[in-house]
Structure formats: structure tokens, C-alpha cells
Amino acid sequence: MIQRSSGLLLHPTSLANQFAIGDLGSCAYEFADFLSQSGQSWWQMLPINPVGRSYSPYQTISTFAGNPLLLSPEKLMEEGFLNKSELICLSSANPKKINFSLAIRQKQFWLKLAFERFQASAFAKMQTDFNDFIEKEASWLIDFSLFMAIWKKERIADWTRWRRDLRLRQPHALALARKNLDDDIRYQQFVQYLFARQWRSLQNYCAQKDIKLIGDVPLFVAHHSSDVWSHPEIFKLNDDGRASVVAGVPPDDFSSTGQCWNMPVYRWDVLEKQGYTWWIQRLRMTLSRFDMVRLDHFIGFVRTYEIPMPALTALNGQYQPGGGINFFSAIREALGVCPFIAEDLGNKTPEVDALREELHIPGLNVMQYAFYEDELPAWYHEKNTVVYTGTHDNDTIMGWFEQLSPEKRNHVKKQLKNIEQPINWELINLAWQSQADITLAPMQDVLGLGSDARMNVPGKKIGNWHWRLSQGELSSTLAEKLLYSTNRSFRDL
């Protein structure tokens, strides 16, 4: 049974520090303190895996690995890998925006330096722990580290353009690559070892503060990922490794041509024959890092909109069945009853609702969508749901409200009745007072920020994922205000 509670959505990259990107260092611990001081029980993050060129956490190059950009140079200094003088920070052009290109250069420099010192046997006790880590995580780490080493050697992100023997994973080619790229492979494994250490430290700290973590599992994976290269048989690919069909959504009110995500779709029949091993390993890893997991695009487990390739639009797609109840039965048999949240927004069908209800998984609802009628929707009065003021894909409350027509804005005000606070706090309080077991708000809504603080605009190819906090915004005054709302709604129990 889920206790009545609340929390905040903030990706660690958006934390404020002296570097070009937020990380798992002191800024993360300070945010955990803020959550505790404000009476919150949950910290929700976006996927924490390595990102590709778009920097989207939903286009990851590995569903198992941790994002090296989240590694804290402060923590590396504490462990003796770096000296204080080496933490020279090149100024970020905009302290309110993540500078990904600078962050990549910084982190690569620091991590390479740390690896050189680690290799020099100055950390004998840690060497044993490192070897144990490799053995424990071998099921994904061996392939991932080889994939990254080959990528660096070939200088081509698209593995379908690698040499044929590497693309097809011919044993002799992989054996030779492991021999020739041994140092680079070990470096990639070392980076993942550091991530595991830093993550575990933050995870333990949050647990001591009674802060639980919510993770995010995207349904689909990027084509240019170690997952697809390592397990091509579970995806619908051509003989050359390219996707034969890709996932997306059909035309709707938001797009006359639909959305083409260019992400390969699963061969659910092959996955079933394999006992869903890859998915079980993936979810086991995620559940080891988080207390609850949001299943992104839950609708896709019932049916997937598949678009034949090549395609510039989603006009010619068709629906194909997903894993359904057979998949979730296998997951439950392997992992027990899992603490999932179903992201079931969008064009739901009765089959989607039936699957979620059969699994007793709470669905997701957004306050910005609650003002189409004269009364609040039925889900506002339900317990087995998670209510958000907005998600990473929504505009902020302030931005959303400002862009409403005068008529719609008056309609919202009429439903809210006596407006005594800024609209962001009116909606936060309204969400917190709902019957939902869990309520969550993006940090931007708590701060009352406008559209320029939006995390993601779906369909926009550049400019997403860059927002971050400014130094000093996590004030005690803000914590007290959020605590008051939380206490008044009986969510700090």
C-alpha cells in the first residue's frame, strides 16, 4: 500500500553547481536536504543512462549503463583521483542552462586522469572491488564497454556502418577487438564502476532522509545503442542491421503527420521465447537503483504504432500488438510485484486501462488537463493514481497559463474559485489536496518559472534538456512554503 505522499521532479543534470552540468555531488545532497526540509517523500528523475547527440535521456546509448556526465568531480577529488587544482572550471556561457559540449570535455578530461591514476595501482583495495564489479555486472557491462571502445576506434556512432564483421558480431572480430582495445574497454568499465559508487552513496543518503527515488524506463531504445547491437534478434531489423520499422504515433490534433521516433520496435515473439531475459535484467537493474519506476509509454505494451522505413512522416504506420499480460506475468514471476507507475497519457484504449487495472499499477494524470469541463475529472478523486502538475514534456504552469486564451484562462479561474496565490501555487495546492496516493510537481512549477524553463518540447529537435536551477533558488523560505502546503494536505505523514 502506497502512503499518501508527495515529491518533486528534477533531473540531476538540472542541479546547480560550479560546473557545466548538475551531477551526483554536493548539489544532489543539497537537493535531498531541500526535499526533506519541505516534507517531500519522493525525488523523481528522468532516465539516468548515457545520452546520445540529442542529449535526450530518452535516446540513450545503453539502458543499463549510468550517464558519465552525472559523475561528480568533487567526489573524485574526495577519493583521491583528482587534485583540487585540477578542478578548473571553464565558465559556462549561461549558468541557467546546461552546457553539454563543455560538460563532455570536462568530464572526459577528469575521468581519463582518474583512470590513469587508478591504473597506476595507487588504489590496490579498490582494484579488487573493481574486478568484483565487472564480474557482477558482466551480463551487460562486457558488451557495453566493447561497444563504446569500438565506437571510439571507428569514430562512427552508427554501428550499422562499422566493418561487417564487427557489425555482425562475428566471434573472431570481437575477440580481436577485445585484445586490441583492452585499455579502452577497461576505461569504460572503470567509469561505470565510479557511477555505481557515486549512485549508491547518494541512494543511501536519500534513504537516511526518508527520501525515495522514482526512476524512468523508456519503452523503446535508441537504434545506435549497445542494446540493439548486442541483441539484434529482439528487434525488427533488416539484414544490414537497420530498422525495418520504427516506433511513433499516428497523426492527431498536435501533428497532422504524426511523430516518427526512429527507434526500433521489439520482436515480442522472440522476447517471449527467450523468457523476456533482456527485459528482466533491465528492470532488475532499474529497481536496484530506484524505489519506484515509471514505465514510459505504457500504451506501447498493449500496441505499438509501427512505421515502415524509410519514412519522413508517420502517415503510413499501423498498430501491432505489444507484450501485454504475458510480458508482465513473466516480469512478476521473475521479480515479484514491482512498484511501477504507468505513464498512460495519450490515446488510451479500453485494453490499456484493462491491463493497468489487472496489474494494479497506478496511472498518471496531469493537472493542466483538468480544466476542460466545469468539474474536476473523476481521476482527481481516485487514490490509485499519481497526479502531476506537469511533466517534463509539458510547459510549466506559468507558461501554460500565460498562453491560454482569455476565455480559457477565465474558465480556469472560475474552477479555482478564490484565487489567493500565483497560479503555480494554486495548482500545486489543488494537486496536493487530491485523493491521489502520490502527487508530484516539476521543480520549475514550485519556482513559478515561465516557458523558458521548459525541459522538453516534443518534436523539437534542438534546444531541449538544457534547463537547470540557479544557485540559491533552493531557499529555506521556499522549503517552508512547500512544507506548509504538504502538511495542510496531510501528505507529510
User: Rounded CA gap, 18 and 150, in Å?
Assistant: 33
List 30, 353, 393, 473, catalytic entry: 393
CB atoms within 10 A of CB 318: 12
Asked about 291 being catalytic, the answer comes back as no
Q: What is the pLDDT of residue 418?
A: 82
Q: Do the domain assignments include residue 392?
A: no
| Nearest-5° Cα angle at 285, 133 to 385 | 155
Q: Do the domain assignments include residue 414?
A: no
Strand order in the sheet with 292-295: 340-342, 292-295, 212-217, 42-44, 5-9, 438-442, 385-388, 363-366
Q: What is the pLDDT of residue 95?
A: 79
User: Rounded CA gap, 327 and 419, in Å?
Assistant: 47
Asked about 343 being catalytic, the answer comes back as yes
Q: Are 285 and 341 within 8 A, CB to CB?
A: no
List 137, 216, 296, 306, catalytic entry: 296
Nearest Cα to Cα of residue 159 among 66, 90, 100, 235:
235
Is residue 359 classed as helix, strand or coil in its secondary structure? helix
Q: What is the pLDDT of residue 121?
A: 77
DSSP letters for 214-249 = EEEE-SS--SSSHHHHH-GGGB-B-TTS-BSEEEEE
Q: Are 104 and 68 within 8 A, CB to CB?
A: no
Q: What is the pLDDT of residue 93?
A: 58
Q: Do the domain assignments include residue 47?
A: no
Range of the domain at 249: 231-338
Q: Do the domain assignments include residue 177?
A: no
pTM: 0.97
- Omega cis (within 30) before 308: no
Asked about 473 being catalytic, the answer comes back as no
List 23, 343, 344, 437, catalytic entry: 343
Is residue 350 classed as helix, strand or coil in its secondary structure? helix
Q: What total number of domains does the chain contain?
A: 1
List per-residue pLDDT tens for the chain, 493 residues long.
Answer: 689 999 999 999 999 999 999 999 999 999 999 999 999 999 999 999 999 989 999 999 999 999 999 999 999 999 999 999 998 776 665 778 999 999 999 999 999 999 999 998 778 889 999 999 999 999 999 999 999 999 999 999 899 999 999 999 999 999 999 999 999 999 999 999 999 999 999 999 999 999 999 999 999 999 999 999 999 999 999 999 999 999 999 988 767 888 899 999 999 999 999 999 999 999 999 999 999 999 999 999 999 999 999 988 999 999 999 999 999 999 999 999 999 999 999 878 899 999 999 999 999 999 999 998 888 999 999 999 999 999 999 999 999 999 999 999 999 999 998 888 999 999 999 999 999 999 999 999 999 999 999 999 987 888 999 999 999 999 999 999 999 999 999 997 6
- Whole-angstrom CA distances from 74 to 28, 71, 77, 371 are 12, 9, 5, 46
Q: Do the domain assignments include residue 388?
A: no
User: Rounded CA gap, 270 and 367, in Å?
Assistant: 39
* Locus of grid cell 542494446: 227
Q: Do the domain assignments include residue 104?
A: no
Q: Do the domain assignments include residue 275?
A: yes
Q: Are 179 and 258 within 8 A, CB to CB?
A: no
Q: Do the domain assignments include residue 263?
A: yes
